[in-house]
């Protein structure tokens, strides 16, 4: 068992323990808070699925809440809600997270419920069939929301045949064909101690949490010789994909536009400059895109940019929702803004404002134990370490105009992929 403790000047005391068997426990003790959050982070997401198993991670996330030998599905939710807490889960492309937020005195209950869900779920045939219907309805609902659907269409076009291109929920066809055996094998392969992190933040004692984790996750710690899994490596080579335009025809009152390309992989040291660039381009009401497209031209209600980072690549995109007749003008202005920044970089005042937005968002997030817990879990699972808040703020402060300019030229001066959803034909673009 290995342990480490670090006191963060802008946070609490961060402690990390690796249990025999490879399960990692990381906590942040903040005695001044009366709430606590705990999450179980599993290195298993949609990119880990074979094509015919697309949606298995998300299906499993649903099933684990359907009951254990100790608790029914109702017990799982009712026990947390009875103390005023909340519990939920979500699936991403590279991980799945199960979490709960409660009063500090109820943290042992939350941890017991989550450990029971992760290690003791029954995965019954009848639950598979019940939840299959729920997930098919969820997929249909996503397709009925073109503002959501366009993001999946964009990722599919950008990453081609790579697993990152697949929808997290899977498709109606793959979900309909998944059997209990498929899902159980996926669970047995990926939900192992070396691939899991338990993160908690709030008014807590690290040693007590470690003891509770070791007891609750005992079924996953049968092989005590294992070590934590290494950081995720690419599952397969990233294909070269020509920029393309994909139009999804929908009889809607609004057009949904997504324009962008590939960005940075998550361990790229330039990611802090990339965050500043994103804030300046489309991170708020003072951003260039918002000002140019909404405030000056009045062409869209919603316009923003965003990025996502993965093990070997990332993406950068501009989203706008507008009246269909304004779509070409919005695209022209978006390309114009991106080209200007790629050519000339950003101004001094924009650099200052972009840094302030990133730093303020980070520090304000420290008011919430759920955000602190997520920062711990993601840092351990995706990066293998914990940068202190002071260190992150320092790295943001160290970003210079030249850093942003070089990055803008690299990321923004590329042929872009375009995804469109609305009342259009392919020939319209």
175 and 282 fall within a common domain: no
Q: Is the per-residue pLDDT at 385 higher than 70? A: yes
CB 356 within 8 A of CB 364: no
pLDDT in tens, 371-384: 999 999 999 999 99
- Within-domain flag for 233: no
Under the banding of pLDDT at 50, 70 and 90, the label for residue 234 is: confident
Give the mean pLDDT of the chain.
Answer: 95
Please say which residue of 182, 205, 220 terminates a domain: 220
Would you state the pLDDT for residue 252? 92
Sign of CA dihedral 248, 254, 259, 262: negative
Does residue 406 have an active-site annotation? Answer: no
CA distance 7 to 26: 13
Mark whether 256 and 197 lie in a shared domain: no
Task: For residue 426, count CB atoms less than 10 angstroms from its CB and return exposed for 0-12, middle for 13-18, buried for 19 or more.
Answer: exposed
Which tokens belong to 341? 């920044």
Residue 358 CA to residue 376 CA, distance in Å, equals 18
Work out the average pLDDT over 115-140.
97
pLDDT of 9 above 70 = no
Q: What is the pLDDT of residue 237?
A: 81
Same domain, 55 and 165: yes
Rounded to two decimals, the pTM is 0.94
pLDDT at 367 over 90: no
102, 104, 111: which is closest to 82 by C-alpha? 102
Does any domain span residue 229? Answer: no
Residue 241 has pLDDT above 90, yes or no: no
One domain for residues 212 and 274: no
d(CA 412, CA 282): 13
* Mean pLDDT, rounded, for 412-418: 94
Residue 230 domain-assigned?
no
Q: Is residue 310 part of a domain?
A: yes
C-beta of residue 172 within 8 angstroms of C-beta of residue 349 = no
* Judgement on whether residues 253 and 207 belong to the same structural domain of the protein: no
- Residue 350's pLDDT band, with cuts at 50, 70 and 90, is very high
Share of the chain above pLDDT 70, in %: 97
Name the residue with tokens 């269909």: 324
The pLDDT score that the predictor gives to residue 233 is 79
Give the SS3 label for residue 156.
helix
Pair (203, 252) in one structural domain:
no
The answer on 286 and 192 residing in a single domain is: no
Residue 82 pLDDT level (bands cut at 50, 70, 90): very high
CA distance 206 to 243: 49
Question: Would residue 228 count as lying in a domain?
Answer: no
At 197-225, the pLDDT tens digits run 999 999 999 999 999 999 999 999 999 99
Residue 8: pLDDT band by 50, 70, 90 thresholds?
A: low
**Tell me, what's the pLDDT at 400?**
98
Total domains in the fold of the chain: 2
What is the C-alpha separation between 154 and 141, in angstroms, rounded? 18
User: Residue 106 falls within a domain, yes or no?
Assistant: yes
CA distance 178 to 165: 20
pLDDT for the residue numbered 4: 65
pLDDT: which is higher, 238 or 354:
354
Residues 213 and 249 in one domain: no
Residues 207, 310: one domain?
Answer: no
Query: pLDDT tens digits, residue range 270-327?
Result: 999 999 999 999 999 999 999 999 999 999 999 999 999 999 999 999 999 999 999 9
CATH for 395: 3.30.830.10
Q: How far apart are CA 396 and CA 380, in angstroms?
A: 20
> Is a pLDDT exceeding 70 seen at residue 2?
no
* 17 φ/ψ angles, rounded to the nearest 5 degrees: -130, 135
Domain end among 186, 220, 254 = 220
Cα–Cα dist 173/81, whole Å: 35
Q: What is the pLDDT of residue 143?
A: 86
User: How far, rounded to the nearest angstrom, does the alpha carbon of residue 292 sit from its chain's CA centroid?
Assistant: 29
- Do 267 and 194 share a structural domain? no
Write down the pLDDT at residue 219.
92
Task: Answer yes or no: do 35 and 145 share one domain.
Answer: yes
- In this structure, the answer to whether residues 210 and 168 fall within a common structural domain is yes
Contacts of 355 (CB under 8 A, 6+ apart): 276, 396, 397, 399
> Which domain range does residue 390 map to?
245-428
For 37-63, the DSSP string reads EEEEEES--GGGS-GGGTTHHHHHHHH
Residue 239 lies in a domain: no
Element (H, E) at 4: strand 2-7
Is the per-residue pLDDT at 11 higher than 70?
no
Residue 238 lies in a domain: no
Residues with Cβ < 8 Å from 276, sequence gap 6 or more? 351, 354, 355, 358, 396, 399, 404
The Cα 96–Cα 88 span in angstroms is 11
Catalytic residue among 61, 94, 149, 275: 61
Residue 10 has pLDDT above 70, yes or no: no
């Amino acid at each position: 068992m290995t342990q480490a403790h670090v006191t963060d000047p802008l946070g609490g005391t961060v402690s990390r323990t690796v249990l025999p068997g490879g399960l990692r426990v990381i906590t942040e003790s903040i005695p001044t808070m009366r709430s606590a959050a705990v999450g179980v982070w599993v290195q298993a997401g949609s990119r880990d699925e074979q094509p015919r198993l697309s949606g298995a991670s998300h299906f499993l996330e649903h099933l684990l809440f359907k009951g254990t030998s100790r608790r029914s599905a109702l017990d799982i939710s009712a026990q947390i809600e009875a103390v005023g807490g909340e519990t939920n889960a979500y699936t991403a492309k590279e991980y799945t997270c199960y979490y709960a937020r409660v009063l500090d005195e109820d943290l042992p209950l939350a941890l017991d419920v989550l450990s029971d869900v992760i290690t003791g779920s029954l995965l019954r045939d009848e639950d598979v069939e019940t939840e299959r219907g729920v997930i098919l309805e969820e997929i249909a609902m996503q397709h009925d929301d073109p503002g959501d659907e366009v993001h999946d269409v964009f990722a599919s076009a950008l990453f081609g045949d790579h697993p990152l291109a697949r929808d997290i929920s899977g498709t109606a066809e793959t979900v309909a064909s998944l059997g209990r055996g498929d899902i159980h094998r996926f669970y047995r392969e990926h939900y192992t101690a070396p691939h899991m992190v338990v993160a908690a933040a709030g008014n807590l004692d690290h040693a007590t949490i470690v003891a509770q984790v070791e007891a609750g996750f005992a079924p996953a710690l049968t092989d005590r010789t294992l070590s934590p899994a290494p950081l995720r490596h690419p599952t397969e080579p990233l294909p070269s994909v020509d920029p393309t335009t994909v139009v999804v025809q929908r009889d809607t009152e609004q057009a949904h536009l997504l324009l962008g390309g590939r960005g940075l992989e998550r361990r790229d040291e330039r990611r802090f400059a990339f965050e500043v660039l994103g804030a300046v381009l489309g991170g708020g009401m003072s951003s260039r895109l918002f000002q140019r497209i909404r405030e000056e031209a009045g062409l869209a209600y919603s316009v923003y940019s965003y990025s996502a980072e993965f093990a070997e690549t990332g993406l950068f995109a501009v989203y706008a929702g507008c009246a269909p007749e304004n779509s070409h003008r919005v695209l022209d202005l978006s390309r114009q803004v991106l080209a200007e920044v790629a050519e000339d970089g950003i101004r001094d005042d924009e650099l200052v404002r972009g840094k302030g937005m990133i730093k303020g968002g980070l520090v304000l997030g420290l008011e919430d134990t759920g955000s602190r817990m997520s920062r711990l879990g993601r840092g351990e699972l995706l990066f293998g370490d914990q940068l202190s808040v002071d260190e992150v703020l320092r790295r943001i402060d160290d970003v210079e105009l030249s850093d942003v300019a070089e990055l803008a030229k690299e990321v923004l001066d590329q042929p872009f992929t375009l995804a469109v959803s609305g009342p259009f034909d392919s020939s319209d673009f």
